[in-house]
Amino acid sequence: MAVESCVSARVGHHHTTTVLVLNAGSSSLKYNLWSGGAELARGTVDRPGSMSAALETAFAAIGSQAVDAVGHRVVHGGGRFDGPVLVDAAVEQAIDELGVIAPLHNPHSLEGIRAVRARMPKVPQVAVFDTSFHHTLPPEAYAYAVPERLGIRRYGFHGISHQYVSQRYAELAGRSPETLRVITCHLGNGCSVCAVEGGRSVDTSMGFTPMEGLVMGTRCGDIDPGAILHLLSTKQTQVDDLRRILNSESGLLAVSGVSNDMRDVLKAVGDGDLRAELGVALFCYRVKKYIGAYLAAMNGADAVVFTGGIGEHSPEVRLRICSGLDWLGVSLNPAANLAVEGEGRIGFGPVAVWVVPTREEMVIARETASLLAGKK
């Protein structure tokens, strides 16, 4: 079934579920309203004040449209949630507890849930988790080589995006997802790569938290844990300070010395800034390494797909990442890479290279409506 055609679900025989999708962040609230497979409204509300105030602004923009359900993007669902769930007190508590390991995300989602409940106490709310898609990781991909009693493992994130993009690529290619091996690269302020085989996530670059893996806007990505222990044991920094540094002061921002925004860093590169050049080079090198690793893990791939703000809009970054991968079948068409707008194929070697804009809100709307339809 086409991804676009299964956004909404019918409850009973006469009513189409209208779903408000909320993605709550530290500085903004993104909203989308879906009904009958169509997007009725979308927007972003800056929220220097409260989430409640941001929510009121969103509802003012929506107008008189009735809302049957609210679907929330929640980043960390841990090992407990392998699919969307109706929000109740136990789910709220779990989201709250997992906020310790997803401090930039879960607390804001929980704030959004509570703001909706205060405004519309009888409207059902559904949590859709970024980690759910990665519950299919095999043990050799999710385990860390540490004592089991520590209770840590790799969960992976951006699952909603990787799920949509891999399914959408299959549709564009006229293939069943079950027949494909796809490497999806979600590159934005947060970044991750996912190996999708037979429609299932089999490996991904993020781990126990969204900090592992690629260089990101402000997150460090892969780092020697011994370096962390060194900083703590020599009292150069405390735990809370180090958490802030690795989450909010590292990544592209730290290496380039310019910005966490790739557009600003590339402009500085054009002006001859050597630190900015290192930031871009390190960012692209890390993505290339993961693509190579997942080509090995899946014994090849049918496609590499770019998505996210950088993946969709930066031909320079895509070119740098794919440069030198020709011998593995990954080869860009320079003209197509520069010209693509929206969806499009940009590489014509044995491994197809595509740009597919992510539609996480579409997946959240679909899964929210389908969950509620199944409970009627």
How far does CA 54 lie from the centroid of its chain?
22
What is the percent of the chain with per-residue pLDDT over 90, rounded to a whole number?
A: 86
Q: What are the structural domain ranges in the chain?
A: 4-152, 175-355
Superfamily of domain 175-355: ATPase, nucleotide binding domain (3.30.420.40)
Over the chain, what is the mean pLDDT?
Answer: 92
CATH architecture type of domain 4-152: 2-Layer Sandwich (3.30)
Q: Which of 130, 222, 224, 302 is catalytic?
A: 130
**How far is residue 197's CA from residue 195's CA, in Å, rounded to a whole number?**
6
User: Has 130 been annotated as catalytic?
Assistant: yes
- Residues belonging to the chain: 376
The pLDDT of residue 49: 82
- For 48-100, write each residue's pLDDT tens digit: 788 889 999 999 999 888 999 999 999 999 989 999 999 999 999 999 999 98
- For 175-200, write each residue's pLDDT tens digit: 999 999 999 999 999 999 999 999 99
pTM of the predicted model as reported, rounded to 2 decimal places:
0.92
Q: Is the pLDDT of residue 239 over 80?
A: yes
> Phi and psi dihedrals of 161, rounded to 5?
-70, -50
